[in-house]
């Protein structure tokens, strides 16, 4: 089965220090040492990330023929992403390398308990346009997974129209900018051919006025809540709450992508609703125990043993 992942491709720089702390508030604040001072780090690592590449690698490890559709610059950071994807045997024919743009990246400050704060420059990842996407290739996929496209309305509509035209399956894990389009009724819920919608609790809460309509038109909605688990609204079932697996986290980055891949992968392999959730939980738990969004992604045989 062919799965196309449409989304971002980034390079993540992980900065670890026992001196970092995360405060529970609604303001994104980074506190540094005094001007001119230096803060010792425990270690620093560079990994590739972005919803498009994370999910493509995840689907490949679950046994699917995975293609990634994303935009990079034509620079050294792009080479890191391409090398990673080639090593994972992900099809990269639909990667766009744009000379005039810079590959996006993030600096991720990781605390001892795995919680984090992210500084992100999305760069080329925000520039994927309809003309960059070969609909003939996208149309050959059996399933399309759409992750954040930074509110690029024309691109989102282009993917949606392609999926509808070819009667494909589709899952969607929108970012906050994409949700603003939904909240502002710039995207018509009735024509989005989405079988699985995946959001975190904060994102779900931001579109509370659309909950009833979404539940009426989307067969499966997954609302994740980090270490607290989440809830699944599936047509024909009562809302099903689940618990996250208790593990020692090294880095929470990529947990959402990992859960989504596990859940959708199980669905495509014909698993029950409960098994889909269990695959998502196990995949997310494996990812957070390693640094980066990709290293911990499980293979199908591993999930079959665990669930």
Q: What is the pLDDT of residue 280?
A: 98
Q: Yes or no: say if 103 and 71 are a contact pair by the CB < 8 Å rule.
A: no
**Complete edge-to-edge strand list for the sheet that includes strand 43-49:** 43-49, 10-16, 103-110, 116-123
CA 252 to mean position of chain CA atoms: 13
- The pTM of this model reads 0.93
Lookup: tokens for 248:
């020692």
Per-10-residue mean pLDDT of the chain, 307 residues long, equals 97 87 59 68 92 98 98 97 98 96 92 82 95 93 96 96 93 95 88 94 95 95 96 97 93 92 99 98 96 96 97
SS (H, E, C) the chain: CEEEEECCCEEEEEEECCCCCCCCCCCCCCCCCCCCCCCCCCEEEEEEECHHHHHHHHHHHCCCEEEEEEEEECCHHHHHHHHHHHHCCCECCCEEEECCCCEEEEEEEECCCCCEEEEEEEEHHHCCCHHHCCHHHHCCCCEEEEECCCCCHHHHHHHHHHHHHCCCEEEEECCHHHHHHHHCCCCCHHHCCCCEEEEEHHHHHHCHHHHHHHHHHCCEEEEECHHHCEEEEECCCCCEEECCCCCCCCCCCCHHHHHHHHHHHHHHCCCCHHHHHHHHHHHHHHHHCCCCCCCCCCCHHHHHHHC
Q: What is the pLDDT of residue 111?
A: 82
| CA angle, 277 then 283 then 287, to 5° | 145
Which residues contact residue 10 at a Cβ distance below 8 angstroms, ignoring those fewer than 6 apart? 48, 49, 50, 53, 81, 103, 104, 105, 106, 120, 122, 125
CATH classification code of 2-20+43-306: 3.40.1190.20
Domain boundaries, the chain: 2-20+43-306
């Amino acid at each position: 089965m062919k799965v196309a992942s449409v989304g971002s491709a980034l390079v993540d720089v992980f900065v670890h220090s026992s001196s970092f702390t995360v405060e529970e508030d609604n303001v994104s604040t980074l506190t540094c040492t005094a001007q001119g001072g230096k803060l010792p780090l425990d270690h620093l690592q560079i990994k590739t990330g972005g919803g498009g590449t994370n999910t493509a690698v995840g689907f490949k490890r679950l046994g699917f023929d995975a293609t990634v559709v994303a935009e990079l610059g034509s620079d050294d950071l792009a080479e890191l992403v391409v090398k990673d994807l080639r090593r994972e045997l992900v099809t990269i024919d639909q990667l766009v390398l744009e000379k005039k743009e810079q590959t996006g990246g993030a600096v991720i400050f990781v605390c001892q308990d795995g919680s984090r704060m992210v500084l992100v420059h999305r760069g080329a990842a925000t520039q994927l346009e309809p003309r960059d996407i070969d609909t003939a290739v996208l149309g050959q996929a059996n399933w399309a997974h759409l992750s954040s496209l930074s509110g690029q309305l024309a691109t989102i509509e282009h993917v949606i129209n392609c999926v509808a035209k070819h009667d494909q399956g589709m899952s969607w894990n929108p970012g906050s900018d994409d949700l603003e389009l939904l909240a502002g009724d710039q995207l018509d819920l009735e024509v989005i051919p989405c079988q699985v919608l995946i959001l975190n609790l904060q994102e779900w809460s931001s579109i509370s006025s659309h909950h009833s309509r979404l539940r009426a038109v989307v067969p499966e909605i997954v609302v994740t809540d980090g270490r607290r688990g989440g809830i699944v609204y599936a047509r024909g079932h009562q809302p099903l709450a689940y618990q996250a697996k208790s593990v020692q986290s090294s880095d929470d980055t990529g947990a959402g992508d990992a859960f989504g891949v596990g859940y959708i992968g199980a669905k495509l392999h014909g698993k029950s609703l409960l098994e889909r959730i269990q695959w998502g939980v196990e995949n997310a738990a494996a990812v957070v125990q390693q640094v980066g969004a990709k290293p911990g992604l499980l293979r199908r045989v591993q999930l079959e043993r665990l669930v």
